[in-house]
Amino acid sequence: MAYVPSLDLVPGVLRGEARAIARLLTRAENGTDEARPALDAIFAKAGRAHVVGITGVPGSGKSTLVAKLAAQLRTQERTVAIVAIDPSSPFSGGAILGDRIRMSDLGGDPGVFVRSMATRGALGGLARGTLEAVGILDAAGYDVVIIETVGVGQDEVDVARAAHTTVVVSAPGLGDDIQAIKAGILEIADVHVVSKCDRADANKTIAELKTMLTMGIKLGGGTEQWYPPVIATSALKAEGVAALIEAIDAHRAALNRTGEIATRQAQIAQRRLLRAGEDILRDRFERHRAGALAQLLDELVARRTSPHSAAVRLLDAIRIGGNA
């Protein structure tokens, strides 16, 4: 298959062609310079989709919920794209949970696009590729773009916060370690889901959550508040998914009504800007590995300078903003 320049893929992406989308997604994930103008062009065209972040601790049943949510959105004639962030296998290099599991529920429907992206170990490529992927699927015309992450690390939380509406999934009967991690992500929820509500101990989880959530979130410049609702779902009994969609839609309507959407978009833009700055920084460091960086590293290993002092000197030396 001949190599198609990334810019030449853009028209196909904007027409919603699955093959062009898939190819540009791969290039966004690889983060090559060649794809940069194409991704910038895509960014300019995106902004129509409702971006929904779905996060939850391991074992909360979030992948199952995402599949049910997508199926339900399809019954409403809405198209759906899913970007799932999976832990990668150090042995195969690929995502473990993968498209295959999810596609078995949704396969063959052209109104659904599923993409698994593997975390990248220490390479730090997670957030960039993910946000570019959301832009591509948004520009391709999908009505709802779902970002699914395991909500347990900084990068994952940042990705979830890149959404207009963030859903945090809890489940009954998880261990103490898991419960503690969960507490750290509850604050980012616009909508709460308690999954596995066919279980006898689910009511306890719902009650605890409601007790913690006595405070509302102030919206826009006015006095209107949003109280994150708690939605009970059961994949086993196929319950709660329609209520979840209503809650997500109600949240979007509240954002638009109060003007809060502008605040959200400014926050998302700021986080993306910072991320892009970090990517450039990493890139520059990489390019100066043999030059300015090498000597500084020697000094640092010998503890003749500190990381902070060394970083200040290096940033000066390599003209970080330029093309040097």
CA pair distance 317, 159, nearest whole angstrom: 32
**String of contacts with a copy of itself for each residue 187-206, x by CB under 8 A:** xx------------------
Total of residues contacting a copy of itself (CB under 8 A) = 85
Q: How far is the CB of 111 from a copy of itself (least distance, A)?
A: 25
CA pair distance 12, 9, nearest whole angstrom: 5
Query: CB-wise, 135 or 229, nearer to a copy of itself?
Result: 135
- List binders of a copy of itself among 126-185 (CB under 8 A): 126, 131, 150, 152-158, 161, 175, 177-178, 180-181, 183-184
Query: CB-wise, 180 or 207, nearer to a copy of itself?
Result: 180
Q: How far is the CB of 281 from a copy of itself (least distance, A)?
A: 5
Give the binding range for a copy of itself (CB under 8 A) out of 10-18, 42-50, 71-79, 230-238: 42-50
Work out the angle between the directed axes of helices 18-30 and 36-45 (0-180°, nearest 10): 120
* Token pair 């020697």: residue: 298
CA pair distance 219, 182, nearest whole angstrom: 24
DSSP characters over 94-146: SBSSHHHHHHHHHTT-TTEEEEEEE--GGG--HHHHHHHHHHHHHHTT-SEEE
Q: How far is the CB of 75 from a copy of itself (least distance, A)?
A: 27
- List binders of a copy of itself among 73-102 (CB under 8 A): 86-91, 96-97
Can you read off the two tokens belonging to residue 122?
């220490």
218 SS3 class: strand
Can you read off the two tokens belonging to residue 159?
């990705």
Query: CB-wise, 19 or 218, nearer to a copy of itself?
Result: 218
- List binders of a copy of itself among 265-284 (CB under 8 A): 265-266, 269-282
The single residue among 20, 21, 49, 57 that binds a copy of itself, judged by CB under 8 A, is: 57
- List binders of a copy of itself among 218-257 (CB under 8 A): none
State phi, psi for 138 to the nearest 5 degrees. Answer: -65, -50
